Amino acid sequence: MPTNSRRSFLQQAAASVGLVLSASAVASLIAGCEKDETNPITPGKTYDVNLTSLSELATVGGIVQTVVAGVNDSEPVFISRIDNASFVVFSTICTHSGCGVDLPLDAIANCVCPCHKAEFSRTNGAVLKQPTSGSATDLPRYTCTYNASTNVLTITV
């Protein structure tokens, strides 16, 4: 076997080994870049909402759409008064296509997504009617507690 052929073979072999080793290193670098480096929301963080200025919630059955910074990715939420001492807080973002769900039109209506007409309960965000195409799930709910003496609703995310 001539020297040039052996030298050429060894160079190609070494280059192939180098390529394989660098490919795994590059793959590791790419995988490292794909990791989410953002700080996740700390579970159990609370946000207080003073209900005094939300007159719609003064009576049982009332519902409002409002933004609570830090809750629902700072998108609006629905706050619904269930009885004298309890409320439910749920997302306004439709689980079917991500559209904003509308506030009920009157005291007995439910929340409707304008994009595909999915209908959600005004008291807990449960799906009552599926969209015209596809399907939706219940709107995400947030844990909340109400302090009647201060009229403050505390939402936990």
Residue 13's pLDDT is 60
**pLDDT higher for 107 or 93?**
93
Is residue 141 very low, low, confident or very high in pLDDT (cuts 50, 70, 90)? very high
pLDDT at 34 over 70: no
- Strands of the sheet containing 111-112, edge to edge, are 111-112, 119-120, 127-129
pLDDT at 30 over 60: no
Percent of the chain with pLDDT over 90: 71
Q: Is the pTM of this model over 0.85?
A: no
What is the C-alpha separation between 26 and 103, in angstroms, rounded?
A: 50
Given CA atoms 37, 156, 67, 127 in this order, what sign does their dihedral have?
positive
Is residue 4 very low, low, confident or very high in pLDDT (cuts 50, 70, 90)? low
CATH of the domain spanning 46-156? 2.102.10.10
Assigned token pair, 153: 């609703």
pLDDT digits (tens, 9 = 90+) for 41-62: 556 899 999 999 999 999 999 9
Could you give the 3-state DSSP secondary structure of residue 41? coil
pLDDT digits (tens, 9 = 90+) for 8-26: 666 676 566 554 555 554 4
